[in-house]
Amino acid sequence: MKLMSGTANRELARAIADYLDAPLCASEIERFADGEIFVRIDENVRGEDVFVIQSTSSPANDHLMELLICIDALVRASARRITAVIPYFGYARQDRKTGGRTPISAKLVANLIAKAGADRVLTVDLHAGQIQGFFDIPTDNLFATKVMEDDIRRRYQTDNLLIVSPDVGGVVRARALAKLLDAEIAIVDKRRPKAGVAEVMNIIGEVEGRRCILFDDMCDSGGTLVNAADALLAKGATEVSAYVTHGVLSKDAQGRVAKSQLRELVVTDSILEPPNSTQTEKVRRLSVAPLLGEAIRRIANDESVSKLFD
């Protein structure tokens, strides 16, 4: 087994390598003056089982193209099996036609990864589970729910806890966490007037006097979570925190969270923190390196990955 890292999140790749006690494959990834990407693998991978670790986070197109070129380099180097480890799968929100003459970009990206030569995909908390069906190769979708559960149990008393889905589409995800914590759930019913703008309408469930935890798969601009926190507190919640798998945190999302009524926003390290982002103590990170590392070990040894969630 060999591990190879792209440039999207080398910190996570190193943490996975440490968990597996295996070094990262020697490689060079460079960019020409015009932006073209060049990849060279500096060690023999012929006949090897190779895992390429690369999130397709911002800049999404550069990181996606880098992943495809890494896969192509491994194919031409005669790797036996190539697994694309994509902690954060970009373009996942474009999983269906939202109107006339619009693309299904998530399917296009899935086709590109398979055509480049990947034999398998490993990812974390896809925005929509059905995206697994877009791939014509085996795809494992890991869940960060257990990572979140362990952290919540360490930091909160669970007897007065309420798990809240920030929209109707995330109810299944919220229910899974609530089941692990033996807690009740509530739902924020919101209407989105246009892309990137969320307006909270009303709360489904009894939140008065409860400690609420918003649970979602990603936080982009932060508007949904901030508005939901305001609505929950207005309905009598004692405090509101948020747990999110993928901290996209575009534009000034961290600054928005810092000024909000959220107690804290907890994200995983599936996406590297932007270097120019506003720093705030309200944003905390958990690592999914052990989760991904154990899944990689099981795939390499032809063991069951689903056993991780039993």
Q: How many CB atoms lie within 10 A of CB 76?
A: 10
Contact residues for 50 (Cβ-Cβ < 8 A; gap 6+): 1, 2, 3, 4, 25, 74, 79, 81, 82, 83
DSSP line for 2-67: EEEE-SS-HHHHHHHHHHHT-PBPPEEEEE-TTS-EEEEE-S--TT-EEEEE----SSHHHHHHHH
Pick the catalytic residue from 190, 194, 235, 282: 190
Specify whether the CB–CB gap between 123 and 142 falls below 8 A. Answer: yes
55 among annotated binding-site residues: no
117 among annotated binding-site residues: no
220 among annotated binding-site residues: yes
222 among annotated binding-site residues: yes
34 among annotated binding-site residues: yes
182 among annotated binding-site residues: no
35 among annotated binding-site residues: yes
Q: Is the dihedral of CA 67, 215, 155, 227 positive or negative?
A: positive
- Helix segments in 91-189, DSSP class H: 105-116, 145-155, 171-181
**What's the longest Cα–Cα distance across the chain?**
61
Q: Is 190 a catalytic residue?
A: yes
277 among annotated binding-site residues: no
63 among annotated binding-site residues: no
Q: In a 3-state reduction of DSSP, which class is residue 219? A: strand
Query: How does strand 49-53 pair with strand 37-41?
Result: unpaired
216 among annotated binding-site residues: yes
127 among annotated binding-site residues: yes
102 among annotated binding-site residues: no
Binding residues: 34-36, 93-94, 127, 167, 192, 216, 220-224
Binding residues for D-ribose 5-phosphate: 192, 216, 220-224
Binding residues for ATP: 34-36, 93-94
Active site residues: 190
Binding residues for Mg(2+): 127, 167
